[in-house]
Structure 1
Amino acid sequence: MAIVMGNRAAWHVAAVAVFRCGGVLVPLDAKLPPEEIDALLRHAGPVALVTDAALGRRLLAVDGGVARGLPLLVAEAEQLGGAGGPAREVLDLEAVMDGRVADGVLAEGGEAAPAAGAEVRGPAGFRPVVRELGDDACIVYSSGSGGTPKGCVLSHGNYLRQAEVLSRLFPFGEGDRFFSFLPTNHAIDFMCGGLIPMLSGGTVVHQRTLRPELLGWTMRRYRPTHMAAVPRLLEAFEEKVRAELDALPEWKRAAIEALMEVNHRATVDAPLPRLSAQLLAPLHRAFGGRLRLVVAGGAPVSESSARFFHRIGIPVAIGYGLTEAGTVLTVNDLEPFRGDTVGRAVPGTALRILDPGPDGVGEVLASGPTVMQRYLDAPELTAETIREGWLHTGDLGVLEADGHLRLVGRRRNMIVTPGGKNVYPEDVERAFVGVRGVEELVVMSAGWLWPGTPPEEDGLVLVVRPVGEFSGASGGSGAEVAGECPGLSAGVLEGLREANRTLRGDRRCSGVLVWGRPFPLTASMKVKREVLAEAIRAATGRGDAWWRLR
């Protein structure tokens, strides 16, 4: 059974129901275009679909769409109306959950079957299906930051082993509250905001919006103890806290910064949540006053952000994982605090570096109980990705002597400069984190962006989407005004230049391209580089970049 809808309790209720019936869950990203969701449904072949009225209307409107031939369990079904196209069967999800209707139940194996009677309330007549650890639990789709989506088949054992390990590293129990605002299909939220709280007796607070002011209200109202975040959201929280500090009188700001330093020194070896909450109560109140752990991953977390949150007493556990391996392969256990790596391998997981170069950089390989079973209907791709028990991640990194893993980028994103140097764009991008006035940025090579660029004119291009409105890409030399980059204020441009100067010569960016549209993102909020490059390629040429950044 597939689920595609925003965060709500019904998402998890439906997921548990699928598992209790012995079915296989297909969690999909509700933010994808309807045509892409339809393509994933066609590939996965579910027997039913759980969704909400707004998404249901869009999916039923897809010409020849799969949703039209599936039984639909729809939240807020009364709002579905007759929009879109005809559906085979529509059930009111809330009514089914309340036991008010039961036109059908899922039989063993996930096949739809008619109910024995006219009405079934509660568990009457229902027999849970027992599954083994090695049985399929979920088909989770991953497109990474580029490429064709792949269906990763994960077993019950994969999930339970991950839940066991994370619960021991970061205890969660009765009285604890997890704040869930990432998409529930996201690996981190599904595990930390779903399975672990249900297994541990905790509480989950759901929110469907990522607007910072509403997230802040919810945290103050419900006082969570745990939450998960991707780097972009961490940066938004950090910016808000910094802005509030900047608005304080100088003496008060100095006093709080002194307390931040005291807290940092006191907690460098291990978190002390009660001490931090007392020392920095005014800052903690903005997060509800009880927040003691943020789990972060999905994309590289900047060391500066991790250090900032550690200083204010809200530790960020930086992890690294990929859809093919459950939730995390490594995590920083915060004992001691380190913000420059993604931590050590979690218990039961082994890592090694394939073909390391002189700098120790090579492809990260992983083996352990959380590695997926296979790709759905793709035996050749499975054999290529998992070889002799080792998952080839496609990520490049260095394994330090103490077991900490430091990532430098994706193998397919690596740029080879005209001078023969390997440059990892993700590594370069970290230097620009924190530049004020920048909403999004990525680093690409001119030769890749605009094929046919002469080697002597190749170089690294910083693609920037500034904060605020801008109509499109910069207009090249003809649009330059007083030697400044069109679309960027003098302050933003100087901030980019200062960050660029911190990089060594072969990693410095030569050009800037100002891009006015939001970057395409994956569910984990990584930039889809290939999709973005195609859009830039279609709309611009090398002459549209501004080449005076150095």
Structure 2
Amino acid sequence: MGLSELQPLDEQDRRLSMLPLHHGLEFTGGLLLSLWSGASITFIDAPLNSRRILDTIRDRKITALLAVPRILKILIDRVQRLDGASEDGSNVSILQGLRLIVSGGAPLDGELFDAYARYGLTIHEGYGLTEAAPIVTVNPSTECRRGSVGIPLPGIEVRIAGDGQQGEILVSGQTVMGGYLERPDLTAQVLRDGWLHTGDIGYLDEDGYLMVTGRLRELIVTGAGKNVYPEEVEDLYADLPNTAELAVVGLPSTRTLGEEVHGVAVLSSQSRELDEEEVVDAIRQRVYALSRDLPTFQRITQIHVWRRPLPRLDNGRVDRVALRSELERAGGGVADVDIDSSLAPWERDIYQRVSNLAGLAVSEIVAHADAPLDTTMNSLMAAELAASLHPAEEGNTDRVLFDRSDTTLRQLLDSVGPQRALESTTQMYWSRVLDGMTPSSRGSTVAAVVTGKLLRGLRQVSIAGQPLPQGPYLLAASTSGDVQIAAVLAALAGRVRALCLVVERQQDLGPGGGSWCCRRLAEHIILDRYPRLEMGLQAAAANLGDRRPLLLFPQGLGVSDT
């Protein structure tokens, strides 16, 4: 009944049934909906092919079609092959007789949606699972949105787990199962507090339309704790040359103690007539170029080029579990550390350091030694590399600095030279900076507590007069010192035991009236400027005390040492 409200049929409709009746989607969305609505239904048995389906749609005057994406793909492929771009071809006209096309059972590719849209046809995607009998959401026939699986059926509630915008999809309603037969252990895993935990990841837009972005077990978790969604990365690298399809999985890394993002690019049939080495190199170079503009956690760290197709599940989706297992068996999770034997020992050592910092295989570092360093490293990685290449002797300010956006690794090697490399340290930079420190102990002050209470009133933030919904938020500080400090203190008030400001001069607390409480009440330390970052960190640690967090504010060109 709920489905009939969003996608109503009537006695004039004729539905074509192509999926097995034991399939929950076909039984409910096909047979039961047709019986409820009084529509007629035509069954077509196997074997299915595009010509037979189109002939049946034409001969039976079908108006409604329920299918999986794979069937919709073979239909549009035939139409495009026979009618081309013509909007009034004989095969196009057959499909244009359909007033309702519904897709389910597997994710609908955006390109497939667009292919139908070019002929004036709309695919209404839905979402569900057997445990919810099985339809949860569907795009209404009156308002369909590309990339969305629609809105919940009447009587079904959907929410997203966690505090973020994206998370696990939870479902509640009368259609949710009571549990797995004689498996209370499995039931307890998915039914908690009245909600079915689907294992799918997604988010709801402002109008309540659900977007499904992946599966929890397909989620890649990096060593830095970043969540990476394979489908998002695949979209970012969608235009690789000579590539028929791309799949992304995570493989464990002993370097990062998390997972690395690996991509498998399957060569297109046309590329098989080209020089294989040139084709593979073109794919790698495109991966490097795209990576430069992406956050490090979304970058493909290693690309594998295949000629064979990807493993797939029965519903047509890529079997990421099988793909991951195959890469692990083939050694895809082990870095290729065969560094060019022509390199000097000190050069090989630096290549290995960059590999350890960036979490990339050494072979990947060597492969783009002539690419700018921001292809593989973020600013913190670069700072650690620069510091490790400089002996930490007090008073020595001749640092190895470089611009990641312009300097290549090969250029960095030339500037470092063998002598400096031999003097450098392989000890992890941030731990070395604070090694051996004996910090003082600083407790909460009355001023800090009072300041925290006062600043809670500043946390009412609005944009264009509209209050923000519940946080948390990351506040980007402005260039005004007093606004910076007030904003940070307001954001952190009540979340840490005590707040302490570390500034070079009293004036750095800000000249404006808004910083009065910062200057008068907040605990603060006046710390001299040091010629090197590590010296400043050591001094800050000694003054702040043990296990106190430190938030650094780099000021871009205004800071000589970051």
> TM-score, with normalisation over the residues of structure 2?
0.51
Residue 276 of structure 2 is aligned to residue 485 of structure 1: no
Q: Give the deviation of 1:238 after TM superposition.
A: 4.4
Distance in 2 of aligned mates of 1:193 and 1:432: 37
Match of 1:506 in 2: 297
Distance in 2 of aligned mates of 1:238 and 1:510: 36
Give yes or no for contact 1:396–1:410 (8 Å, CA) kept in 2. yes
Give yes or no for contact 2:250–2:324 (8 Å, CA) kept in 1. no
Change beyond 3 A, Cα 1:373–1:458: closer
Change beyond 3 A, Cα 1:469–1:285: closer
2:7 is aligned, of 170, 195, 206, to 170
Change beyond 3 A, Cα 1:312–1:386: same
Map of 1:16-165 to 2, 5 A cutoff?
A: 164-165=1-2
Change beyond 3 A, Cα 1:541–1:372: same
1:368 is aligned, of 173, 195, 199, to 173
Farther off after superposition, 285-294 or 372-381:
285-294
RMSD between superposed Cα atoms in Å: 3.9
Distance in 2 of aligned mates of 1:198 and 1:423: 44
Residue 153 of structure 2 is aligned to residue 346 of structure 1: yes
Q: Which residue identity does 1:305 align to in structure 2?
A: L
Indicate the SS of the match to 1:298.
coil
Residue 30 of structure 2 is aligned to residue 193 of structure 1: yes
Q: Give the deviation of 1:510 after TM superposition.
A: 3.7
Match of 1:336 in 2: 143
Q: Give the deviation of 1:323 after TM superposition.
A: 1.5
> TM-score, with normalisation over the residues of structure 1?
0.52
1:300 is aligned, of 107, 132, 145, to 107
Change beyond 3 A, Cα 1:389–1:209: same
Match of 1:538 in 2: 329
Change beyond 3 A, Cα 1:198–1:430: farther
Distance in 2 of aligned mates of 1:339 and 1:514: 31
Unmatched 5+ stretches in structure 1 = 1-163, 248-252, 257-279, 472-479
Indicate the SS of the match to 2:26.
helix
1:107-132 deviation per Cα after TM superposition (whole angstroms, max 9, x unaligned): xxxxxxxxxxxxxxxxxxxxxxxxxx
Farther off after superposition, 526-535 or 325-334:
526-535
Change beyond 3 A, Cα 1:524–1:371: farther
Match of 1:417 in 2: 222
Match of 1:15 in 2: none
Q: Which residue identity does 2:119 align to in structure 1?
A: I
Distance in 2 of aligned mates of 1:457 and 1:382: 30
Residue 165 of structure 2 is aligned to residue 381 of structure 1: no
Map of 1:394-543 to 2, 5 A cutoff?
A: 394-431=199-236, 440-447=245-252, 453-455=254-256, 459-466=260-267, 468=269, 481-485=276-280, 505-542=296-333
Q: Give the deviation of 1:231 after TM superposition.
A: 3.2
Match of 1:291 in 2: 98
Distance in 2 of aligned mates of 1:170 and 1:379: 36
Distance in 2 of aligned mates of 1:453 and 1:312: 51
Distance in 2 of aligned mates of 1:435 and 1:286: 34
Change beyond 3 A, Cα 1:288–1:541: closer
Give yes or no for contact 2:247–2:265 (8 Å, CA) kept in 1. yes
Percent identity, please.
Answer: 34
Q: Give the deviation of 1:296 after TM superposition.
A: 1.4
Give yes or no for contact 2:128–2:137 (8 Å, CA) kept in 1. yes
Give yes or no for contact 1:283–1:312 (8 Å, CA) kept in 2. no
Match of 1:154 in 2: none
Distance in 1 of aligned mates of 2:209 and 2:255: 40
Q: Give the deviation of 1:189 after TM superposition.
A: 2.1
Q: Which residue identity does 1:365 align to in structure 2?
A: L
Change beyond 3 A, Cα 1:391–1:282: same
Q: Give the deviation of 1:311 after TM superposition.
A: 4.1
Q: Give the deviation of 1:423 after TM superposition.
A: 0.8
Change beyond 3 A, Cα 1:442–1:283: farther
Indicate the SS of the match to 1:305.
helix
Bigger Rg, structure 1 or 2: 2
Change beyond 3 A, Cα 1:513–1:287: farther
Q: Give the deviation of 1:394 after TM superposition.
A: 1.5
Distance in 2 of aligned mates of 1:523 and 1:423: 25
Distance in 1 of aligned mates of 2:271 and 2:184: 46
Higher RCO structure (Cα 8 Å, ≥6 apart) = 1
How many corresponding residue pairs? 338
Q: Give the deviation of 1:378 after TM superposition.
A: 0.5
1:492-529 deviation per Cα after TM superposition (whole angstroms, max 9, x unaligned): 88998898788655323243324455544444333332
Give yes or no for contact 1:350–1:368 (8 Å, CA) kept in 2. yes
1:308-353 deviation per Cα after TM superposition (whole angstroms, max 9, x unaligned): 4234222111111111112321112153331132221111111122
2:42 is aligned, of 191, 204, 214, to 204
